[in-house]
Every structure is written in C-alpha cells, then in structure tokens.
Structure 1
C-alpha cells in the first residue's frame, strides 16, 4: 500500500484547458498564513512537464524544511508596503500613527526601494537607505534626518517585513540584523525660575494667558491642553480630568490636506486627574468669564464646543497657531531657544527638584512607564545629587592622624 502524503508535502496533477487538452502540470503545497482567514495558504507550482514540476516541488519542500521557502511572486516592495499599510494595518493603528507611517513610506522608503522585488530584498538595502537618510535625507534638501526619524523608518520597515514573513512572502526579516543609528538624546530645555517669571509677565495681557499658565502648572501635552472641555475641569476641587487630545490627521475627503480631530489618549495612563494650584483656578474662572462675554458678542455665530481654550468664535485652536503664539511671547520675554514642550519639562523638573516621588511625577505626566520619566528627566540638578551625597555624611568615621 502506497504511503499517504503528509500535510503540506504536495501533490502533482495535470493542467487542462477548457477543451480537456493537457497544457502542463501543477504541484500544490502549503505556504504562509492567509491574513483574512488565519489558515495556511495553498501554493501552486507550474511547469510544462511532470518532471519539471516535481523538481520544483522537491526544492520547495527542502526549502520549507530549512525554513527558507518563499512563495513564488513578483510582488514589489512598494506594492507590498501599500498593501500592508492599507489592508493589514488600517484598522489597527490610530489615525495619527497611520498618517505618520504613510508619510514615511511615501516620502522616505518607497522612493529608494519601491521597484525592488520583495523576494530580492536583502539587509544591504535598508542599511544603505538608513545611511543615505542620515547623510542627506530631509525632504526639503536641508541636510540629513535625525537618528530618531531613521529609527522610526526602521520600525515601519521591520513591521511590514515581519508580516511578509508570516504570510510566506519572505523567508526571514532581513532588517533583523541591520545596525540602526544610535539615538542621540536631545538636550532638554527647562525654563529657569527667572525665565518663568519673565514669560508670565510677557503673556499676562494675552487672551490665552490662562492656557500657558495651566500648561506650566499641569504639564499637559499641547493636544491635551487644546482638547480640554469645561466639563473636564473641576474648579471647585481644583482638578483637571485629562480624557482626550487634539490631533492633526490626514483629510481623506475635504479640500484641505489635514484636519483636526479629538482622540482618546494612546495608553490608559494618558487618562489621568491632575490637581492644580488655587491661583490657577482663579485665573481659569476669570478666563471663563471673558469667554462668556465673547459668546454674548457673537451670538449664534459662536460655535460652542465646550472648549476651555478656543478661538474667539469657539472653534478648536490649531496646534501650529498656538505654537506660533508661544514663540512670539518667548521672543517678547527675551528667552532664547525654547519650544512649547519646555513648559511641560519645566513642570516635571520643578516637581522632582521639590523631592516629589518619580512615580507621582510619572502619573501626573501620563507616562506609560516610570522608566520613561526617569530617563527623560535624568538631568535634574546637581543640587539634588549633592543632597543625596550629603545623606551619607558621617557614614565614614573621621580618620585619626
């Protein structure tokens, strides 16, 4: 009795046209996983003769045994990246993440390797791509990309190729062993106490004074600040409830390329409650009174979105416009080289300098892990280090001479 073939060992049969004429031979074996069904895919191997097909089948089975089998395909890298992003990841990524992936693929990855057949991709290709981007990869031609951006490009390529391996389109992920650029830690900008006073003086008559003051005393991210609703603010208890953020996403249908949208935080730690000082509560009350006056003046033209900080007609403030206002005020205050994120950094730094426990600071900032907080604010003053050293005073007995 003939031995029955095992699953995946393949079978060979004749290929016939519609008239029943034999036009070739075909072998069937198994390949990767079908992403839609979750089941193993069938792979067809064609040839003019039985011997030709049998040779292909034997080779395929040997490659599968060795873990290097790749399904026959002329699929190009660019086509696979599009398919992976649109068909595999569209429903699994936040809109902002999907947009950033698409930008990196269209702007930096596809122009370099889109026409290369996926099965011919080697570790040399991404390695050369990373080096080229570091040397001069900015889309505006003004120099190279940061190591952080190149690492992000690597993350996208690695994820796309990992799925290709799972589906049997590649034998291995060729970027697994590619050396990626080290990420250089940017020097963090924290406002000094004197700069903080100058900044607050410069903005005291600005319509958005309360927004900058709250940012400085709560450590909110810009998107969280601009998405804040009055129902998220407990003025009686002096607590801010962070429940969402304002983001820019690609506009798929409208006339403009991008649009603003509100989204929940990325992690559960992002949803948090932040106590604020009493003087900030007072300023928020005054801000709300001024906002109510704007509503009365505009009447029905005012778009009431319950936003704490909005345009004069109630619409969400574009993050870019808010940043421009900040830079204008920083210049007015005579403070050099500071971006809007410096307010959040200043908030966290002052807490740590006041000996607040890092775990509390992590929760207030909405960091997913305490290691992120400790790493980000490892700069916190030499004075704290000296105080730590002074705790050991008297541990070593004075030597008698």
Structure 2
C-alpha cells in the first residue's frame, strides 16, 4: 500500500520517482500458532456449560466464526431445518469508538455455515431462556447484544475453570479448521466457512494440518506404486 500510493503519484507527475522503490521489506516473522488441543475439546465445553455459556462456545468450536460475527447473530439467522447460520453482519467500532453492527468489510465474510444438529439443539434451547429477545446470545445484564470484549473475558474464565493454558479467543478458530481438514473436508470449503478473503490463506495458516494430509497422500501413492510394480 505504501508503495502503490507514491507510485500513483509518479504516474500523475506529482513525484519524479517513487521513494518506496529503495525500501527493503523485512521478512515476516511467523509465530507458532497456539490452539486448543484435541484432548481439551471436552474440558473446554464442560467449563462453558458450568458458566451457562455452552451454546455460544459450542457454536464457536464447530463454526470458527469471529467474535464480532458471533455476538451479532440474531435468532432469524438460524435455520433450524437446514441446520445453518447466516453470517451477514458483525459488531465493530465506529470512528468515535462506539460499538455498532455493520456489514462485514469483505464479501467472503458474508456466508452461510452448516452446523451439526447438536449445535442447533443447543441454540434452540438457549432461545427458550429469552424467547422475546431477537439476539441469539443477549447479554444477561443488559438484554442487548453481548459485547465482544465480554465474550473474551468469559472465554478466559472458561480456560481458567478448565485448567487450560492461556489462549486468545481467536485461537478457537484453528481447532475447527484443523479438525475439518484432518477429517477430509477440502481446503476451499474450510476457507469459505471461515470467511477467508484469500483461499490460499487457509493452507498457509494451517500448514501442520495440510502437511499431514500431504503425508497421507504420499503414503497412498507409495502403496499404489507398490501394488503395480
């Protein structure tokens, strides 16, 4: 972006040359991803249930949606018959730092996500607790939309209750992607469900999983070649 702006200025003869041409871009330092381990996938929901938040965090684990998308869900976004949720809005902050509900920035973030029947059952049970409220997860304190920061705080308390190490709320997305990829769901489908703008971002982010699938493919090809030789 910094390079393209003065580049445009050069084309419009506002600059003689692009000063960004001489810049050396530093290499991106990739940090090792932390995620909820498979063996912790029981302890975490159990702790969420004890805090009466199982429906919200179970949905997060099986869908991998972002926290802003999660709290912006309304009852009308659930299609119980088709077992889907529609993600078409997100909680975000405006220029004055006020919390608002807005359309996602990218078209790929607007999507329908298939969810398991157990998630549907939990959401319908959750709705019976506040049948007149339009929000899928209303705040127990205000009755309005749950604040994203409150979800993060609750997430940290659930981790502590379950005796699990610190993880960002965003780190709940990888377990969904990892398990989906490991169980044969194709990368394009996983990318669409996560709302990734660039489908190539998924295999770059979850290289540990795609590497496992490549190893399995290599083994399958080795077995095939052993049979035909």
Matched, 1:213 2:75: no
Separation in 2, partners of 1:309, 1:398: 57
- Equivalent residue in structure 2 for 1:287, among 104, 113, 126: 126
Separation in 2, partners of 1:228, 1:278: 18
Q: CA deviation at 1:240?
A: 0.5
Q: CA deviation at 1:364?
A: 1.2
Structure (1 or 2) with the larger CA radius of gyration: 1
SS, match of residue 370 in structure 1? coil
Q: Which moved more, 1:380-389 or 1:230-239?
A: 380-389
CA contact (8 A) 1:190 1:349 kept: no
CA contact (8 A) 2:156 2:166 kept: no
Separation in 2, partners of 1:310, 1:267: 26
Question: Which residue in 1 is equivalent to 2:67?
Answer: 222
Q: CA deviation at 1:330?
A: 0.8
Instruction: Give aligned pairs, total.
Output: 227
- Equivalent residue in structure 2 for 1:274, among 88, 113, 135: 113
Separation in 1, partners of 2:137, 2:25: 41
Separation in 2, partners of 1:351, 1:178: 40
Go from structure 1 to structure 2 and tell me whether the alpha carbon gap of 1:358 and 1:381 turns closer, same or farther (over 3 Å shift). closer
- 1:292-326 deviations in whole A, cap 9, x for unaligned? 3xx6xxxxxxxx5x221221232222222211111
- Equivalent residue in structure 2 for 1:370, among 199, 219, 222: 199
- 1:336-362 deviations in whole A, cap 9, x for unaligned? 131111211110110000011111111
Question: Which residue in 1 is equivalent to 2:139?
Answer: 311
Matched, 1:172 2:172: no
- Structure having the larger proportion of residues in strand: 1
Q: Which 5+ residue runs of structure 2 have no aligned equivalent?
A: none
Separation in 2, partners of 1:267, 1:382: 29
Separation in 1, partners of 2:48, 2:146: 17
Matched, 1:246 2:91: yes
Q: CA deviation at 1:232?
A: 1.1
Q: CA deviation at 1:385?
A: 4.1
- Equivalent residue in structure 2 for 1:182, among 21, 27, 38: 27
Question: Which residue in 1 is equivalent to 2:40?
Answer: 195
Question: Which residue in 2 is equivalent to 1:69?
Answer: none
Separation in 2, partners of 1:385, 1:170: 49
CA contact (8 A) 1:165 1:172 kept: yes
Q: CA deviation at 1:382?
A: 6.1
SS, match of residue 94 in structure 2? strand
- Could you list the runs of 4 or more consecutive aligned residues of structure 1 that deviate by over 6 angstroms after TM superposition? none
Question: Which residue in 1 is equivalent to 2:225?
Answer: 395
Question: TM-score w.r.t. structure 1 length?
Answer: 0.53
SS, match of residue 379 in structure 1? helix
CA contact (8 A) 1:349 1:380 kept: yes
SS, match of residue 380 in structure 1? helix
Residues 71-150 of structure 1 aligned to structure 2 (within 5 Å): none
Q: CA deviation at 1:398?
A: 11
Question: Which residue in 2 is equivalent to 1:26?
Answer: none
- 1:51-79 deviations in whole A, cap 9, x for unaligned? xxxxxxxxxxxxxxxxxxxxxxxxxxxxx
Separation in 2, partners of 1:352, 1:333: 26
Q: CA deviation at 1:188?
A: 1.6
